[in-house]
């Protein structure tokens, strides 16, 4: 169920559109249901999923090995198969959750007819990719060049976690301060590196 609400919203807005008449009669029962009764975020199954969503919206893109817990690792592996590897996508999902929560006591029809519902419908029409969940919509993507550059720097920081801010500046990394702040997971790799060094020293 990824396009059910979208097609239903289209049929409600334009009842003369013959393309969605059958869909309307098949799913019109949803219109009287409260939004809280409708699963619009099928992939957010638990608290672990929601926590990962918030982390990716702040610090993405990330790799499964950046996390210590198996739950986050497995969820992220699955998400990478379906979702854009862009923190702005996950920020959009978070905002959609907030909007949906505001309508939990409203019916689906009331949501469709609201300012938020109409805005979602227009953005959904412009999505330009395969929808991944019911309330998916278009979003302003991170510039691909900037995203590739950040991924490249993070790859280096995982290998050389003790690189300092001054080191990054000497390497002419743009927005070095911002890059470091957006990758707090480097502390994990610093700790692992120190453990390896300590082990080498103890065995020498």
At 8-51, the pLDDT tens digits run 999 999 887 788 889 999 999 999 999 999 999 989 989 999 99
Q: Whose structure tokens read 């991924």?
A: 151
Contact 25, 155 (CB under 8 A): no
pLDDT of residue 17: 78
pLDDT of residue 161: 95
Contact 185, 59 (CB under 8 A): yes
pLDDT of residue 68: 94
Q: Which of 129, 59, 47, 126 is nearest to 90 (CA)?
A: 59
Contact 78, 67 (CB under 8 A): no
Q: Which of 83, 73, 77 is nearest to 48 (CA)?
A: 73
Cβ of 184: how many Cβ atoms within 10 Å? 12
pLDDT of residue 203: 82
Does 61 sit behind a cis peptide bond, omega within 30 degrees of 0 on the bond before it?
yes
Residues above pLDDT 70, as percent of the chain: 99
pLDDT of residue 18: 83
Intervals of the chain under pLDDT 70: 1
Cβ of 160: how many Cβ atoms within 10 Å? 13
pTM to 2 decimal places: 0.91
Give phi and psi for 22, each to the nearest 5.
-60, -40
pLDDT of residue 1: 63
């Amino acid at each position: 169920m990824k396009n059910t609400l979208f097609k239903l919203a289209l049929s409600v807005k334009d009842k003369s559109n013959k393309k969605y008449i059958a869909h309307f009669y098949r799913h019109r029962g949803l219109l009287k249901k409260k939004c809280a009764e409708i699963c619009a975020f099928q992939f957010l199954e638990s608290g672990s999923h929601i926590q990962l969503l918030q982390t990716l919206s702040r610090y993405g893109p990330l790799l499964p090995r950046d996390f210590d817990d198996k739950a986050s690792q497995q969820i992220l592996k699955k998400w990478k198969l379906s979702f854009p590897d862009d923190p702005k996508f996950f920020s959009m999902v978070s905002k959609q959750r907030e909007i949906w929560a505001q309508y939990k006591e409203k019916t689906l029809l009331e949501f469709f007819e609201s300012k938020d519902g109409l805005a979602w419908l227009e953005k959904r029409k412009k999505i330009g990719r395969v929808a991944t969940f019911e309330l998916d919509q278009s979003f302003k993507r991170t510039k691909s060049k900037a995203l590739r550059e950040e991924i490249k720097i993070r790859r280096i920081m995982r290998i050389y976690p003790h690189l300092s801010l001054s080191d990054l500046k000497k390497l002419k990394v743009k927005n070095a301060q911002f890059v470091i702040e957006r990758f707090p997971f480097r502390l994990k790799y610093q700790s692992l590196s120190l453990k390896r060094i300590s082990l080498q020293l103890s065995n020498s």
